[in-house]
Amino acid sequence: MNINIIGVGKIKEKYLKLGIDEFKKRLSKYCKLDIIELDDEKAPEKLSEKEMLMVKDKEGKKILSKIKDTSYVIALAIDGKNLSSEELADKMSDLAVRGNSNITFVIGGSLGLSDEVLNRADYKLSFSKMTFPHQMMRLILLEQVYRAYRINNNEPYHK
């Protein structure tokens, strides 16, 4: 299985980099993992609705340029479906059985994802109604993907 994670924004915090590196190492046993880090659009703190849409559209075009046509796209979106860890494991197993060997998870920037990216997504996944920093979401996503592989392989992992 090929897992791609497209994330907007650079990871600057050392503790997040260390955690991401740890889960990349752990996941190497189960899948080919590629993390694509895209520059976020620079924007002032206060933006009009139109300016926010412009920023999301620019980031969206960068994201879409990195998605392979054959990839099953899972967008992380606050209004997506909430799944338990076991349900995510089932989803990933089902995708593999159905021949989807390329899965791309997309994490937007601080303003979220453009409508164009959301429309390209085959599935929208929400981790919570809460808002998390997009850099931290990368680590949380990697941990859950790792957990899914452990569940699907009937291997122990802390609960």
pLDDT in tens, the chain (159 residues): 999 999 999 999 999 999 999 999 999 999 999 999 999 888 777 888 898 899 999 999 999 999 999 999 999 999 999 999 999 999 999 999 999 999 999 999 988 999 999 999 999 999 998 888 888 999 999 999 999 999 999 998 766
**Per-residue pLDDT, 155:** 94
**Per-residue pLDDT, 159:** 60
pTM: 0.94
Q: Where are the beta strands (DSSP E) in the chain?
A: 2-8, 32-38, 72-82, 102-107, 123-126
Question: What phi and psi, each to the nearest 5 degrees, are found at residue 95?
Answer: -60, -45
**Per-residue pLDDT, 158:** 66
**Per-residue pLDDT, 45:** 78
Residue 30 Cα distances to 74, 92, 99, 111, 115, angstroms: 19, 12, 16, 32, 32
Give the number of other CB atoms < 10 A from CB of residue 65: 9
**CA–CA separation, 133 and 110 (whole Å):** 7
